[in-house]
Chain A
């Protein structure tokens, strides 16, 4: 038995209970509402008009087809980094290293600039590079956990920082644009995702995210390997007695997650106009925080691929709408408010069965249930 706090199966079971609880969609929705209310409260305290700001945000996120394109475009990488986190939660671990895996994947994808190739294959090679780099960046924490019992919470964060500095080194000295020192080489047209909606930044990369989500859903719920991963996450001791090699499931879940995070990096540098590059000079403004935001998406999506897609549309909307919000009215609210709201949503998500904290709602629910049960019982009596 591992002696570090994360090897504690009871802890993980507790975590799973929260993360895959009873009335999932309702609780996620409630957490989102609480997060938005906390954001509104802070805006009010800081002297902003929260209703105006949220109105602008809503318009900017879901107000029309251009806005929807912008929202889905921002949801694209979030789906992938959310999958990184959730695959590992399903296996009973907390991989909070999507940020580093995503950065390394983005750098690997930019490397395709060095070859000239026909358009479809060029893109595909870039994706393979990115997925391999992301997976490679996740394998060391997995091995450290298996061989030395090092908590993945610590090792993945350390790898985030090491990956960040490595990516900065690469972006500044190796794959740098010789004309513009602050950015990397630009991914050539042959290796880009085509734009889906003209005049927006919504590209076919979105279908990559959907595809990866479906593949992971299939692997987790319709293959033996996926079954083993989920069994190890539910109860590692029982899984081991059942003949499941926990070490293998750990490695598999980290590799799958790392590959997804690497693809998230590729989805941005190969599928997000206008830059098609990373900016080492500005410490990666278009890439930073995609990994961390993905964790929030995973939790709100209850670590289920389908839930994650829905949650990514919510968070992509927050990001897209936030861009409109920050220029709206005479006293606009900075974009950073969006991340405050995300953090508040995750805090609300951490309370299991949030609904039970509201006794009035609970009582009403109980009396409703009693009523239904009575009705059910009486109708049964009537029929017999």
Chain B
């Protein structure tokens, strides 16, 4: 492996990091407030599609806006079901994922591109020319956002209220925090970040939409949340690790000698996810009221 290979690998790793870190940071906010959303995979998929459609109509930024809006809307729906309607978070998440698979497959047919929609070049977000090659500007967002969220959760009143809603909703309620509203806001924000991540995949990174564009990234993001122990800064690191192995898989695929069949190389990110998560558990503590609807006595 020479120098330019290494740079290429780093470039792929940074690009692959973005959706996982953004989604994981959003989920960290949601889980801190007590909501556990396994529908992230579906949100990524739907917003990738919605973002591509938006970008076709009004350019890449419109695409991001629509992707974020769709993600936020699904996050909001998830939160309403699981706060005010006392739903079951696991089942809602599975429902979102199933719905997304059908919706995107259906939507691709309606776009006249069954199975595969290539986002036109004009609708894609232009990449910056840097010394390392073409880089998407969204990478900067993914690098900065975890620090902002970290600061927000540790240093602001709203951030502490968020924590209280997930840790001990009864006490938070007595202290005047509207627990359900807090959770609603957190899950909507988390959905919005997953929506941005989805739009990024279709219009700023891969440049196409397929039925399995998300390829388990929503669940890898959940694994990253476990790995991070709800620390956004570690989500950045976790996203980079998973991005790196995805980059490594892409790199091995391009080798002319084909040392390993690419089907086995493609397993790599998932195997690494399993290894990292099994190593991380044990030192991680989650909010006490995670996954439970809050009911006033």
Contact = CB atoms under 8 A, between A and B. Distances in A.
A338 B86 CA distance: 27
Interface string B100-124: 1111011001100000000000000
A340 B102 contact: yes
A357 B80 CA distance: 12
Given A158-B273, A166-B263, A343 B102 contact: yes
A59 interface: no
Interface stretch (A9-17, A64-72, A193-201): A9-17
B238 interface: no
B6 interface: no
For B89, B103, B219, B223, which residue has the most chain A Cβ atoms within 10 angstroms? B219
B292 interface: yes
Contact of B85 (A150, A340, A357): A357
A350 interface: yes
Interface in B58-115: 77, 81-82, 85-92, 94-103, 105-106, 109-110
Interface string A148-166: 1111011101111110011
B90 A346 contact: no
A153 B101 contact: no
Contacts of A344: 95, 99
For B36, B42, B270, which residue has the most chain A Cβ atoms within 10 angstroms? B270
B36 A150 contact: no
Interface in A77-103: 94, 96
B290 interface: yes
A96 B281 CA distance: 20
Contacts of A169: 261, 263-264
Contact of A14 (B38, B81, B264, B293): B293
A166 B94 CA distance: 24
Interface in B187-223: 215-216, 219, 222-223
A350 B88 contact: yes
Interface string A119-140: 0000000000000000000000
Contact of B292 (A14, A18, A94): A14
By secondary structure, the B interface counts as helix
A14 B88 contact: yes
Contacts of B8: none
A161 B286 contact: no
B175 interface: no
A8 B286 CA distance: 10
B91 A336 contact: no
A161 B103 contact: no
Given A155-B274, A344-B99, A351-B81, A336 B106 contact: yes
Contacts of A153: 38, 90, 219, 222
Interface string A294-318: 0110010000000000000000000
A348 B98 CA distance: 12
Contacts of B94: 96, 295-296, 299, 346, 350
A15 B91 contact: yes
A347 B270 contact: no
A341 B102 contact: yes
B98 A295 contact: yes
Given A292-B101, A352-B86, A144 B106 contact: no
Contacts of A337: 102, 106
Interface in A330-384: 334, 336-352, 357
Given A10-B292, A169-B263, A343 B97 contact: yes
Contact of B87 (A5, A10, A18, A345): A18
B282 interface: yes
A148 B216 contact: no
A4 interface: yes
B278 A150 contact: yes
B88 A15 contact: yes
A172 interface: yes
6 contacts: A4-B281, A150-B274, A155-B277, A166-B263, A342-B99, A343-B101
Given A155-B274, A168-B263, A299-B94, 7 more contacts: A11-B292, A158-B270, A165-B266, A334-B106, A334-B109, A342-B102, A350-B88
Would you list the 10 A-B pairs with minimal beta carbon distance, nearest first? A343-B99, A339-B102, A346-B95, A343-B98, A347-B95, A11-B291, A340-B102, A350-B91, A169-B263, A336-B106
